[in-house]
Amino acid sequence: MGVRGREVSISLDGVRDKNLMQLKKLNTALFPVRYNDKYYADALTSGEFTKLAYYSDICVGSIACRLEKKDSGAIRVYIMTLGVLAPYRGLGVGSRLLNHVLDLCVKQNIGEVYLHVQTNNEDAIKFYMKFGFEITETIHNYYTNITPPDCYVVSKFITESQTKKKLLGSSFSS
């Protein structure tokens, strides 16, 4: 997308104790759920997998992930939240955040990324489909305070061929 020039003013920054408040403010504005201390501890622990996005100098979005160890010992990435403030949507910020995490997965040989999305969140479902995610499960009554209470588990499996393509210089960016 960089070639289209619209991403020139988007930059990413890591999340640290010092700017954790930015992530908290974004979550309050974006999501109907209040996130607990574990969410913020997991976000900080995930290191490069959690990022704030700036449009020019304004903090407009974030991706926050948790790294999980599967029984097999393999690591998978759970996207806890990905959001962009409404006036800044459609400018490539969400894509930039998601591509950042997908690129890290390729570099670190992580084969699975997944998340939960409310079943009525069509914009987000379409967004993830564009990046090769698929609906892998429906969980009824996943949420307790929002309607509908159901969610989809949306997953992307990163294959070795994508890893190879990446090594040849291609990326997930369209």
Question: What is the rounded distance in angstroms from the CA atom of residue 41 to the CA atom of residue 174?
Answer: 33
Which residues lie below 8 Å from residue 148, measured CB to CB, with a gap of 6+? Answer: 118, 119, 120
Shortest Å, Cβ 117 to ligand COA: 5
Residue 169 per-residue DSSP state: T
- Is 155 near ligand COA (CB under 6 A)? no
Which of 78, 88, 142, 143 is flagged as catalytic? 78
- Is 30 near ligand COA (CB under 6 A)? yes
For residues 91 and 124, the answer to whether their CB atoms sit within 8 Å is no
- Is 117 near ligand COA (CB under 6 A)? yes
For residues 163 and 109, the answer to whether their CB atoms sit within 8 Å is yes
Size of the site for ligand COA (CB under 6 A): 20
Question: Amino acid identity of 67?
Answer: L
116 is catalytic: yes
Q: Which of 14, 90 has the CB closer to ligand COA? A: 90
State the binding string over 81-110 for ligand COA (x if CB under 6 A, else -): xxxx----xxxxxxx---------------
For residues 103 and 172, the answer to whether their CB atoms sit within 8 Å is yes
Which of 35, 54, 88, 116 is flagged as catalytic? 116
| Contacting residues toward ligand COA, per CB under 6 A | 30, 81-84, 89-95, 115, 117, 121, 123-124, 126-127, 130
